[in-house]
Structure 1
Amino acid sequence: MRRTARLLTGTALAVAVAAPAYAEGTGHLDVYPSTVAPGAQVTVNTAACGDKGSATGDASAVGAGVFTLAPSAHEGEAIGQFQVPPSAQPGTYEIVARCAEGDRLVKGDLMVALSAVHDQVQPRGSVKTGVGGALGPDPVQTAAGVAALAVAAAGGTWLLHRRARGDGI
């Protein structure tokens, strides 16, 4: 009985402590694009501040500093922009904004990558493994290899045909 009472008391205490923290952070800060390269422009928006609400954003985690979110005509959202510094290191950073009215805090994540997803360069060319291969960067060598294989196949077929007829070699 005492064990059950302790368990229920502990659970109730945890809920009581977590409830104010959860209520303060309601809402979400949308970050566009969510993955950027250093030096890129980022737009953030939230509907958590109300129809005419504004907010003060903080992107100092990534090194961009403080920015303002102003009310917009887009369904009562507050919108703001900041630029990721060219010296930003790759990683995931938390961007926060505090609504001017109600003191509500909203958060969103920004991922900084050396090369943004849409700017990736696809690999091309051959790989030098030391093993060799039929296909290389030189088309003349490739054609010579294919011709040598064709001659060997034709000669082997001719020899097998002679052997099957009994002519010998």
Structure 2
Amino acid sequence: MRPTAVRLLTGTVLVVAAAGGAAAPTHGAGIGSGSLEVYPSTAVPGDQVSVNTAACGEAGSAAGDAGAVGAGRFTLAPSSHEDEAVGQFRVPPSAQPGTYEIVAHCAADGRKVTGDLEVTLSPAPQQVYPRGSVKTGVGGALGPDPVQTAAGVAALAVAAAGGTWLLHRRARGDGI
């Protein structure tokens, strides 16, 4: 590579790196910091739901509103977990299926953060593990009879020995 091309390529890399560095988020503005995390994101009427956000900053609190689902207002208090404000509410028994927006307003600057809660009428299905045997159709055609199994193994051994003997004769040039 020529020195001019190397300089051009290096300059391009530096410009791209500088542009990428300028667009990188600063501390406190990372992924998830501008949203309200709802856990579990799918709930049934009567479930307890937790919400948290890092958008309100260190030692920040917020006023939460789950009125869309009928749960009313709740408080998000500062926690020791990654400078997040955390709160809880219960999905009312009268909640109808659908997706609802849960809102929180930071106490310090009034910033609004939102998250979604999906309400269903039936709980999420539990993991079901298979039991019993699987009918694949492979093997067992003659059954578990030991006499038939021994006869099959003997037939395979005779065929293998015969094939080896024929290949050995052919390699020596004796013919068949």
TM range (shorter): 0.5 to 0.7
In 2 relative to 1, CA 118–50 (structure 1 residues): closer, same or farther, beyond 3 Å? Answer: farther
Give the structure, 1 or 2, with the largest relative contact order (CA under 8 Å, sep 6 or more).
1
Identity of aligned residues (%): 71
For residues 99 and 38 of structure 2, what CA distance do their matches in structure 1 show? 12
Q: 2:44 aligns with which of 29, 37, 42?
A: 37
Residue among 49, 59, 70 paired with 2:56: 49
Deviations 1:99-129 (A, max 9, x none): 00011000000000001214699xxxxxxxx
CA RMSD of aligned residues (A): 1.7
Aligned match of 1:87: 94
Q: Which amino acid aligns with 1:74?
A: H
Provide the TM-score with structure 1 as the length reference: 0.54
Match of 1:115 among 91, 103, 122: 122
Bigger fraction of residues in helix? 1
Unaligned runs of 5+ in 1: 1-25, 122-169
Q: How does 1:124-143 map to 2 (within 5 A)?
A: none
1:69 is matched with 76
In 2, distance between residues paired with 1:56 and 1:104?
10
Q: Which runs of no fewer than 5 residues in structure 2 stay unpaired?
A: 1-32, 129-176
The whole-number CA distance in structure 2 between the counterparts of 1:118 and 1:28 is: 28
